[in-house]
Structures are given as structure tokens and as C-alpha cells.
Amino acid sequence: MMTFTTISKIDTSKDFILPCYQGYLKRFQKYLPVEKPDFDAEFATYQLIYGQKGNRIYLLGLGTTKDANKIVRAFQKLAFDNKKFWKTAIQVNAETLSSEEIMKAAIGMAMGEYQIGQFKSKKSKESPLKIEFASTKSIKQLVEEGSLIGQTINRIKALVDAPANHKTPEFLGAWALNSAKQVDYECTVLHKKELIEQKFDAVLSVGKGSIHSPVVITTKYLPRPKEAIDVGLVGKGITFDTGGLSIKPSQNLHYMKSDMGGAAVVLGVVELAAKLKLNCNIVGVVASAENAVDASSYRPGDVINSHSGKTIEIIDTDAEGRLVMADALSYIIKTFKPKQLIDLATLTGSVVRTLGNSAAGMFTESAEMADAMYTSGELTHERVWRLPLYEDFEEDLHSDVADIRNFSGKPVAGAINAAKFLQAFTEDHPNWMHLDIAGVAFGDSSFSKMKSASGFGVQLILNYLKGLK
């Protein structure tokens, strides 16, 4: 268990970390037992030197100014690789870091604690470890905030990495209720019976083939309870996506446990907003279901109803995310009338083919929101890239038998088509944004051998919320 504190000065007889940009090694010479060690401060590399007392001195490379936004990863790597050697405490020299860098350092150190092997029978033992940030300036709040962010990211990564037999929709609901109770915000969970009563037909249709009933989770953090909702967040919470009757190939199917990555970000951000006491009214809605194969599964060709009242012709049961999102969007707009509305979903393979693992697809008609989100993405190194919502794509969603169909049937512009489908359920909300995080929520990582959760989105959205006027 890591705990975070601040100290005014490095004790050079104990273990410490010297974060260092390229070309600046000289300024740390006074801490070092040798002249000019072999270290070129390349990004996310480190060099261990033993001090006179046998203590550990880590030179941590932060690269050049072009790497500045991503230094979370440098600290994460150092902590991840070396924490097992740290006895009771490790000091971090924060004297030469800016406020943003200190926060990122704390996030990274906290993220280094994440253990992916939650389901191993032999747990690696966790002894208490103090992370001590040293500076003569007052940095307590930055360190505290960074550590809370890192810890919440770890909690949501644990959710995304959890297997679908443990992580049912009801499990996500219980997670949210528990978080709300611990951190002190509001949470309600609509179970199957309430979903039927309130006409969440699209969520129910997607969940029909599973023995685990769907839920819709609403989390509310309202520091100004009499005022309007500043931001509504909506997350896709498919706990496992087999594709349904339009079944997916079995190769890599196990990774479809991560199809609730958007939901995890929404749950994490509301939890964090409450922990950090942001001055912003936020409502999070998560629509969660399992897309399974069964005699009672919904079928291609079915026409279903939806919370909005629009009927939908199902062309492909694997385009399930947009269905549960449609209900969640319609619900949050009708119930909470948020001034801004942002949804996050691991929605399409198409966005993975377009932007790889480097950026989320961003869709919005609001240039102002696009600018602000783009800037937040650069600063947090959780990048977004804007894609169009041209009217041209509307006819692709034409259905002869229903109001709309869930797939164009064409192998082109999949991410845009999905976004256009969602847009049909936003009642032309002028400040709606959709983020397709299929390529960035889960993937290859230097912290696991198989693909794993990245935590993408938490810093992006948190930073965006902090920037709201």
C-alpha cells in the first residue's frame, strides 16, 4: 500500500529518485557519489546508482520538452519495475519540477502500484510504502491530488481487466453504489424491473441473451444542488461482447471483457470529482448489459423499441454498443438536461483501424468543446482526434421498416456511422460529444504480457472538467 507525503528536503542517506530532463544532469551532481554517471536521460529510462550508505539513487530520464506531457509513464515505469526493492519509503526530488510535473509524477507513482494479477491464488505481498515528495515549495495538494487520480485510475483498470464472469452488469452497479457510499455522492441503479417500467427497450434487447440482467447506473456529484447539471457523462458498459447472434470470431474474443471501458471512465471520473471536490455539477449514466448468444438473444432483422420512442431495425447484433448508448443518451437528456453531454464508448473496430492505439475518435458539432477536449488530450497525453459528423452519412442509417437501423451494412466509415447513430438520440443537443475509445482503452502495454486496460480517459475528462468556466 502506497501512501503519499511531502518533505522539505531529500535525505541523501536514504533511497531517492532524481527526475531529470536531457542535458540537465549537471544540476544533480551534488546528490551523486560519482562524477558524470552513464546516463543520457532518455524518456522513461532510469539508472540506479548506489550511494555511500548503500542507499538507492535513481536517475529518471524525462527526455526532452516534447516528452513533457507524457511523464506520467516515466514515473509509472520506474515505480512498477522497482517497487519490490523499496523498503519503507522512497523520496522523489520535486524541487526541479513544475506544478503540473509534480501532479503527473504522483499520478505515475500511484499507477506503478497497479497489480494486474487480482485473480491469482498467490497474492504478491504488499507492505506499506511511503512516497515522499521533496520540495521547499508547498506541494502537498498537488501530491495528494495526483495520488488520488492515480489510485482511481488503478481502480477502473482493475474493473476493465476483470473477467466477465466476475464483472456482471449488477457487479458494476454494486461497485458504483459502494463507491458513492465511500466517497459521499449519489448513486442509483435501475434493475431489470425498473428498466422494463421505464422503457429502456434497447438496453433490454441487448441484454436478452444473457443470464446476467442489464442495469442502468446513475451517479451524481452535485456540489451546487440547486443549479443546472454542467456535464452529463455517458458510458458504454458491455461486460462482454460476443457479438450476439452476429457472433464474433473466437480469436481475441476474450478481450471483449474490456467492452465496458467507457463505463469505467464515467464511474471513475464521477468518483474523482467527488474526491477532489470539483466545483461542477456532474451526472454519470452507465448502460450495462452482456451481449451473449442464446435462444432468447435478439436477432438481426428484429425491430426493437427504445427509451426515446424511436424504433430500431437490428441489422447486426454486434453493433450493440450504440443501442445501449442510445437509451442512456435519451435518458440523461430527458431526466437531467445537462448543459454539456460527453459519451465514452469502446464503440467500433473502425476507429481502431483509423487511429490505432494513439488517439480516441472525437465527434462533436461544437468547435468550442472540440478545442477544449483536444487541448486536454495533448496536456494529459490522452489524445483525441476529430472526425466528421457529415449529413452525408444519414441515409446509411435509413430503414424501410423502422425509424432507423443500427448498421449501414457497408464496410466503410464505421466509426462515423456509429457516431451518426448516437447523434439521432441526442435530440440535437448542441453541446454533445462522442468519444470512441475502442483503440485506446485496452491494448498492448509495457506493464503486462497480454493486452490490458490503460485507464485512458480519466485524466482527459478530469482535466477538461477543471477547465470549464
CB of 157 closer than 8 Å to CB of 30: no
CB of 434 to ligand BES, least distance (A): 14
**Cα 93 to chain center, whole Å?**
29
Closest to Zn ion by CB, 142 vs 287, is 287
Closest to Zn ion by CB, 231 vs 266, is 266
Among the residues of 293-366, which ranges form H helices?
321-336, 349-355
Closest to ligand BES by CB, 363 vs 407, is 407
- The answer to the question of residue 241 lying near Zn ion (CB under 5 A) is yes
**Cα 194 to chain center, whole Å?**
28
With CB under 5 A as the contact rule, which of the stretches 19-27, 71-79, 241-249, 377-385 interacts with Zn ion?
A: 241-249
- The answer to the question of residue 318 lying near Zn ion (CB under 5 A) is yes
Mask 186-215, x = binds Zn ion (CB under 5 A)?
------------------------------
With CB under 5 A as the contact rule, which of the stretches 21-29, 192-200, 317-325, 424-432 interacts with Zn ion?
A: 317-325
Integer Cα distance of 353 and 356 in angstroms: 6
CB of 231 to Zn ion, least distance (A): 24
Closest to Zn ion by CB, 120 vs 410, is 410
Cβ-Cβ contacts under 8 Å for 117 (sequence gap 6 or more): 123, 124
CB of 348 to Zn ion, least distance (A): 8
- Catalytic residues, by residue number, are 248, 322
Integer Cα distance of 266 and 299 in angstroms: 29
- Give the residue from 124, 111, 189 showing the smallest Cα distance to 156: 111
Closest to Zn ion by CB, 259 vs 436, is 259
Binding Zn ion by CB under 5 A: which of 19, 207, 235, 321? Answer: 321
Q: Where are the beta strands (DSSP E) in 54-110?
A: 56-61, 89-93
Integer Cα distance of 469 and 466 in angstroms: 8
**Around Cβ 385, how many Cβ atoms within 10 Å?**
14
Binding Zn ion by CB under 5 A: which of 95, 259, 271, 343? Answer: 259
CB of 394 to ligand BES, least distance (A): 16
Instruction: By CB under 6 A, name the binding residues for ligand BES.
Output: 241, 259, 316, 318-321, 346-350, 352, 407, 414, 438
CB of 456 to Zn ion, least distance (A): 16
Distance of CA 385 to CAs 122, 327, 333, 391, 437, Å? 42, 26, 25, 19, 11
Site residues (vs Zn ion, CB under 5 A): 238, 241, 259, 318, 320-321
